[in-house]
Amino acid sequence: MRLQNKTVLITGGSRGIGKAIALRLAKEGANIVIAAKTVDPHPNLEGTIYTAAAEIEALGVKALPLQVDIRFEDQIEKAIAKTVETFGGIDILVNNASAISLTPTGLTESKRFDLMHGINVRGTFFMSKACIPHLKNASNPHILTLSPPLDMQPKWFGAHLAYTMSKYGMSMVMLGLAEELKPLGIAANALWPKTTIATAAVQNLLGGDYLMQRSRKPEIVADAAAAIVTRSSKECTGNFFIDEEVLQQEGVNDFTVYAVDPAMPLQPDLFVD
C-alpha cells in the first residue's frame, strides 16, 4: 500500500489504459479522481466515470467521478476545486486523456486537428498548471503523462503529422515542467508502451481483432505507472519511460502474462523502433 491515503487525479480514466492505471494505484491505497467526459453508456465504448468509480471503490478506497472536458479551463478549475474539497489535496496527476486520428495532412479536418491539440497539448498543459499549487504541498508529488519519447525521425511525422505534433506536444510539456518544477521537488515524466495496447482505440480505429491479438493488456502500462509514481519525485523526473523497460528495472523478466495472445508476435507501438 505504497500510496495509502494519497490522492491521484487521472484524466480520461473511464476505460482503457486510464482505468487500468486507476485500478492499479487504488490497489496501492490511493484515492482516485476520475476526470473524464463519459457519463452515459456509449454503444461502442465500454465504461463511464461512474462504472469506473464503482470498480475502484470495490477495492476499498474512495473514488470521485467528475465529468470534465479538459479543453476548457473552467471545467479543469472546478474539477481541481472539487478534488481538493473532497480529499484535501492532490499528490499525483496522470495526464492520460488523449484524442487520436492517424490521417495524412490532406485528410485532416480542422475540427479533428483542434480536438487533438485541444485535448492532448492544451489539456495536458492547463491540467498540469492547475494542479501545481496543490502538488507543491504533497510529500512525493508526481505528474505522469501518457506520451512518447521525443524522436524527430521524419517517418513519425510523415504518416500522421497532426497526431504526432499533438503527442510530442504532450511530451514537450513534460520536458519543460521537469526542468521548471525541479526546485519544487515535483516530478514530471512521460510513459509510453513498447507495444500496442488492447484498448478500444486499437479495436475500433487502428487494427481490429488482428492488432488486438498482437497487443499487450493495459495492465503492463498500469504496473509501470505504479512503479514510476512511487519513486522519489526529487530523483525521478524528466524521463521518457517505456513500460517494459520500467518493469525490467523493477525485476520483471517474464512479460508473457501481459500478452493478449502469447502465441502471437507483438506489434511495436507508434514512435517506438
Task: Look at phi and psi of residue 242 and say left if phi exceeds 0, alpha if psi is from -120 to 50, else beta.
Answer: beta
Pick left, alpha or beta for residue 87 (phi over 0 → left; psi -120 to 50 → alpha; otherwise beta). Answer: alpha
Beta strands in the chain (DSSP E): 7-11, 31-36, 63-67, 92-95, 142-146, 187-192, 240-242
**Which DSSP symbol is given to 40?**
S
Determine which one of 50, 163, 210, 258 is catalytic: 163
Catalytic residue status for 258:
no
Contact indicator for 28, 16 with CB cutoff of 8 Å: no
Rounded CA separation 7/126 (Å):
19
Three cell numbers, residue 107:
485528410
Identify whether the C-beta of residue 13 lies closer than 8 Å to the C-beta of residue 52: yes
Residues carrying an active site annotation: 163
